[in-house]
Amino acid sequence: MTRSDLPLWTSEEAAAATDGALPVGSGARWTAHGVSIDSRAVKPGDLFVALAGEQTDGHRFVDAALKAGAAAAVVSRPIPGAGPDAPLLSVADTTEALVALGSFARLRSTARIAAITGSVGKTGTKEALRQVLADQAPTTATIGNLNNHFGVPLSLARLPSASRFGVFEVGMNHAGEIAPLSAQIKPHLALISSVDAVHLEHFASVEGIADAKAEIFTGMGPSGAAVLPRDNPHFPRLLAHARTQGLTRVLSFGADPASDARLISYTLGADGSDVEAEILGNPVRYTLPVPGYHWVVNTLGVLLAAQVMGASLERAVESLKSLSVPAGRGRRETLALAADTPGGGADTFDLIDESYNASPVAVAAALKVLGAQTPKPGARRIAILGDMLELGPSSADLHRDLAPAAIDAAVDLVFTAGPMAAHISEALPEPMRGGHAKDSASLAPIVAAAIRPGDIVMVKGSLGARMATIVQALRALGTDANTGSGLRSHSGGR
């Protein structure tokens, strides 16, 4: 999403949307070009919403937000030191006000709206759909993974009237969380990227996860379209939910011959894939600049969704040629080794940054991508794996079951961090065990000392495992001889 030159909110609109009160005087008139709930991220012209959270209260930072250039602040109580002309919009509850802003923005919008959820791949799919739509018309999309009960209304509140398309990500880890978010988004199209064994700590079965994902249909009218992963074993269950919700247009993507977006053939490479497919009867060929079968299948859903939303299929295919990977989800970087680094000098190694999140199916996919890489002679494939969280009583087994995937990928060394990831290491042959530590901070120096020129290193783990700590340690090993930045980046992985 880019900030528009046109106002996103006037003071009058924001007051009407939230049933709020404006001060008397100069503070009653303002326009905002963005919306923020984090005073540290406020940009000049933003409307700052002071949320009262469990750990901190945004009202403490209203003064800082205004000094940073916020056009106004939404508050639910007096702000010490604020004068009578301070641009404050007073409401009964700031969280409810944020939801009201999002609902008002959605109501006034004429954009075609897509909502995306899934156990894995939803952020990458969202970003890919955003890119192909934005190349054709003004498009607003969820930034990062702002996909929860705060992120969805915030993303909607940032929806300008001029947008032709909107793409919003929806996440959950408990049943009942998606339905109210779908009601806010009111999508014309809902895409489910996958249903897999994620968040099992909060569900009795994967079928329960499928039911929770299907809540995304509840905010849709009967004319809406559902786009579903036909190869997924839970496709029939998702289809039943869509039909029960009254949706008459249910489409699918995958390798199954009955798919509306059907994979005909593909060639996987270390840096990308060549794809031949048929989208609603239209033959297409394209080259993805990112590796992995999961990307091949997900882009089928993206092309199908884009065409259903009214975008040009031909231009969408062209956009995929420059597809980029979100940070922490498979972005590949070539890093230099400093001269004083063990094995260092003018040499480099490759880092595949998968540190943002992890689940059994996602780790297996990332290991396949690593296995497709060809290290330089004498170099190695190295996997650095952290705990996968929220997997419930079967967590140890689900970690242990990843060992065969590492072996099949011909990974040379596996380093692990965390009590659950230790089960991966224990299930591996002794020569593959690179090292284990209680957490990522303890493992980082061990890994950094082990890197040799030409190695290809993949880092993955759940967000709570803080595997980004290891990514930062690897980036700090040296500086790029040409740019001084320490890396040369290109898209790759997931």
Q: What is the 3-state secondary structure (H, E, C) of the chain?
A: CCCCCCCCEEHHHHHHHHCCECCCCHHHCCEECEEECCHHHCCCCEEEECCECCCCEHHHHHHHHHHCCCCEEEECCCCCCCCCCCCEEECCCHHHHHHHHHHHHHHHCCCEEEEEECCCCHHHHHHHHHHHHHCCCCEEECCCCCCCCCHHHHHHHCCCCCCCEEEEECCCCCCCCHHHHHHHHCCCEEEECCCCCCCHHHCCCHHHHHHHHHHHHHHCCCCCEEEEECCCCCHHHHHHHHHHCCCCEEEEEECCCCCCEEEEEEEECCCCEEEEEEECCEEEEEEECCCCHHHHHHHHHHHHHHHHCCCCHHHHHHHHCCCCCCCCCCEEEEEECCCCCCCCCCCEEEEEEECCCCCHHHHHHHHHHHHCCCCCCCCCEEEEEECCCCCHHHHHHHHHCCHHHHHHCCCCEEEEECCCCHHHHHCCCHHHEEEEECCHHHHHHHHHHHCCCCCEEEEECCHHHCCHHHHHHHHCCCCCCCCCCCEEEECCCC
How far, CA to CA in Å, does 313 sit from each of 135, 266, 275, 308? Answer: 12, 19, 15, 9
Characterize 405-442 residue by residue with b for buried, 16 or more Cβ atoms within 10 angstroms of its Cβ, and e for exposed.
bbbebebbbbbbbbebbbbbbebbeeebbbbbbebbee
pLDDT at residue 399 in the model: 97
Q: How far apart are CA 359 and CA 178, in angstroms?
A: 20
Domain architecture of the chain: domains with CATH? 9-93 (3.40.1390.10), 109-320 (3.40.1190.10), 331-490 (3.90.190.20)
pLDDT at residue 98 in the model: 98
Q: How far apart are CA 106 and CA 143, in angstroms?
A: 17
Predicted TM-score (pTM) of the model is 0.88
Task: Retrieve residue 396's tokens.
Answer: 């140890």
The residues of the chain scoring below 70 in pLDDT are 1-5, 339-346, 478-494
Residue type for 380, please?
R
User: Which residue(s) pair with 332 in the sheet?
Assistant: 352, 490
pLDDT at residue 24 in the model: 82
